[in-house]
Structure formats: C-alpha cells, structure tokens
C-alpha cells in the first residue's frame, strides 16, 4: 500500500498557510504560487485518473481561494495515487511512488518560495 500521508500533510500545511496570509502577502505572489501548484497537482491527478482525456485547467477563483484550491487539488491527487497504487494502469508513464515523491517535492519547493 502506498503511503500518501507525506503528500497530504505537505498539501494541508501549505494550504493552511495560504489561508492565513494577509491580502498583501497573497498579492505579492503567494496566491499565484498556490494557484500554480494547485493547477499542476490537478493536472497530475487527471492524467492518472483518465489518461485518454485532455486535462482541464483549474480556474483562477481569486487570491483568497488559493488555499482551498490547493487543498482540493492535492487531495484529488492523493486519491488518484491511492487508486493507481491499488490498480496500476498498464499505460502509466510513472509509477505511483515516483509520482508521489515528485508531488511532495513540488509542494515543498512552492511552500519554500512563499
């Protein structure tokens, strides 16, 4: 069984941090960083869940929604990775464990930039 807790913990911590930031800090780039990460995580989840469909882009719901958007996208990826680990697709480009490691790295790097 794939241990997705490192990703879930990192996503939750960064999302909570974004939710607690002031408007000025969000406006100086933290919200954009959170949205960019949310979009990337959402794309990764969609590619795992449905490799034949063109992924959609997460919309910009405003700076105050960045933390929530990150949490949703991160949790979607966690669930996609759990499913892929339980029933790996034969055409998957990367193993779920590799995807997990890369996603955790992306979250940690983005959090470090904020």
pLDDT band at residue 90 under the 50/70/90 scheme: low
H or E element that contains 97: helix 96-113
* Statement: the pTM of the whole predicted model exceeds 0.85: yes
Largest CA-CA distance found in the chain, in angstroms, rounded: 46
Per-residue pLDDT tens digits for 55-71: 999 999 999 999 999 99
Per-residue pLDDT tens digits for 21-40: 999 999 999 999 999 999 99
Q: Considering Cα of 23, then 25, then 28, then 31, what sign does the dihedral take?
A: negative
69: tokens are 């958007």
């Amino acid at each position: 069984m794939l241990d997705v807790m490192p990703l879930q913990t990192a996503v939750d911590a960064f999302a909570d941090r974004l939710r607690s930031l002031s408007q000025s800090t969000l406006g100086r780039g933290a919200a954009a960083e959170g949205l960019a990460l949310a979009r990337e995580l959402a794309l990764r989840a969609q590619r795992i869940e449905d490799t034949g469909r063109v992924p959609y882009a997460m919309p910009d719901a405003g700076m105050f929604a960045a933390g929530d958007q990150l949490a949703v996208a991160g949790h979607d990826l966690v669930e996609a990775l759990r499913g892929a680990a339980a029933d790996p697709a034969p055409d998957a480009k990367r193993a779920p464990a590799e995807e997990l490691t890369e996603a955790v790295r992306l979250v940690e790097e983005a959090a470090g930039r904020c």
